[in-house]
Amino acid sequence: MRWGLLPVITIVLLAVACSGGTALQLTSTPTPSLDVERPSPTPEPTPTATPTLTPDPAVQRIAYRGTDGSLWIMNADGSGQQELIYAPENGQVYFPEWSPDGTRIAFTEVDFVEEGTNFSLADIMTVVIVDIEGKEILRVPRAIMPHWSPDGQALAVGAEPGIEGLIILMTPSIVQVETGELRHAVPRLRTLDSPRWSPDGNLLVYATDDGLHVIGLTEGSAPRRVVEAEAYSLFYLTPVWSADGVVLAFESDRRSGDPPGGVDSYVMVDVDRGIISRVGDSYPTKCGRASFFRDYEAHWIPGTSFAAWGITCTNEQTQPGIWIKDMTGGEERFLDTSSVAKAVGLLDVSTDGRRIAFSSGTGGLGYTRQAQPAPGGIVNIYVVSIEGGEPELLVEDARFPIWQPGP
């Protein structure tokens, strides 16, 4: 039996997880004022060279994890499938992310170990960057969940990830891509993801069990809590920025409601004023059984105040699909995916805002290695128009689709 990222994240989710067409008129998101400030350095990793490749503007690609656990790319119509880098013999690629210029891809590599082997979570995790030809540029051992800075010169990562009881911990850190120098942004803390960069590159946002925090990048800066939480009762996950500097996060309030209790919402947060809008799910979308916490992640429709998120499990009250909702209130649309799936996992919106790529399966969401079916079925990657219609199959037995940034 092999162990990897999935069992670890799943254990954490069990401890903190929550319970239970007309064309859209798109409007732009509001802009908050931003503070600035910066953390102190501490070195580590090993680089290899910065690529000079430029993406072909005529061909937008999708990066994803293939059936063999390796990193692949394909054209937006599913053609031209190409393996970029093969995962270790007992490993897998997780959560690929394109650089802002579309020339490099960062991801977490998990190297499984055999049952009975003593290991820490950090021992099996490595952040890797490759170019679009599969050449390795940088390897950051004992790190997880890379997110690019807006200028593509640095990554935010979770360094030294570990588990204490049912809690996952890591040290939010910044890695310089050219030199491999690693700096701790804040001390080790309870969190499920590394920080996300603000669009101007001046702030990082992250979620812990006591709320949402931001920290500036000027020397001597300290974290500032923007939204307060209560561990296991009211919590936030997967904060992401809009192009205008507003944060979107998943909120689960378990302090009220019938058993298993809880109200799921997505909130829009101004980092100076706190929560400025809240949009509840029309269905109990999360059902407490997301395969990965990143399945909760919502995505902005570029240039608008609309966000998209998937229904990660289904029951007698729900049907599989994707919600597109105006975070300032008003319009909403539901994209029905029941013809191809029982659940919608990690999704991503194309840079032109017209299409959504998502992973989904006829047996629910399962994440397994090689050609073995996930429990109850195989997870495939589909694409669907934001206007609705039948989802189109792009590739079978694959997951974690992410669009290459457009010109």
Give φ, ψ of 59 to 5 degrees. -130, 100
Residue 245: which CATH number?
Answer: 2.120.10.30
Tens digits of pLDDT across the chain (407 residues) = 444 444 444 434 333 333 333 334 443 434 333 333 333 343 444 444 433 334 444 468 999 999 889 999 999 999 999 999 887 777 899 999 999 999 999 999 999 877 667 888 899 999 999 999 999 999 999 999 999 999 999 999 999 999 988 788 999 999 999 999 999 999 999 998 999 999 999 999 999 989 999 999 887 889 999 999 987 788 899 999 999 999 999 988 877 655 445 678 899 999 999 999 998 765 444 454 444 567 789 999 998 999 999 887 666 666 788 999 999 888 999 999 988 877 788 899 999 999 999 998 754 444 333 333 344 467 899 999 999 999 999 999 999 999 999 76
Cα separation, 205 vs 34, in Å, equals 12
Q: Taking the mean position of all CA atoms in its chain, how far away is CA 269?
A: 18
Q: Are 192 and 209 in contact (CB under 8 A)?
A: no
Domain that residue 64 falls in: 2-20+25-403
Two structure tokens written together for 392: 């189109």
Looking at residue 98, its pLDDT comes to: 97
Cα separation, 82 vs 36, in Å, equals 41
CB-based contacts of 16, cutoff 8 Å, min separation 6: 209, 231, 232, 235
Looking at residue 316, its pLDDT comes to: 62
Looking at residue 287, its pLDDT comes to: 53
Q: Are 129 and 135 in contact (CB under 8 A)?
A: no
C-alpha torsion sign, points 180, 185, 191, 194: negative
Looking at residue 86, its pLDDT comes to: 80
Looking at residue 39, its pLDDT comes to: 38
End-to-end distance of the chain based on CA atoms, in angstroms?
44
Closest listed residue to residue 251, CA positions, set 265, 233, 238, 232: 265
Structural domains in the chain (count):
1
What is the value of pTM for the model shown? 0.83
CB-based contacts of 241, cutoff 8 Å, min separation 6: 196, 197, 198, 199, 205, 247, 248
Q: How far is CA 50 from CA 134, 153, 182, in A?
A: 13, 10, 17
Looking at residue 311, its pLDDT comes to: 81
Q: Measure the CA angle with vertex 190, ends 189 and 191; round to 5°.
A: 110
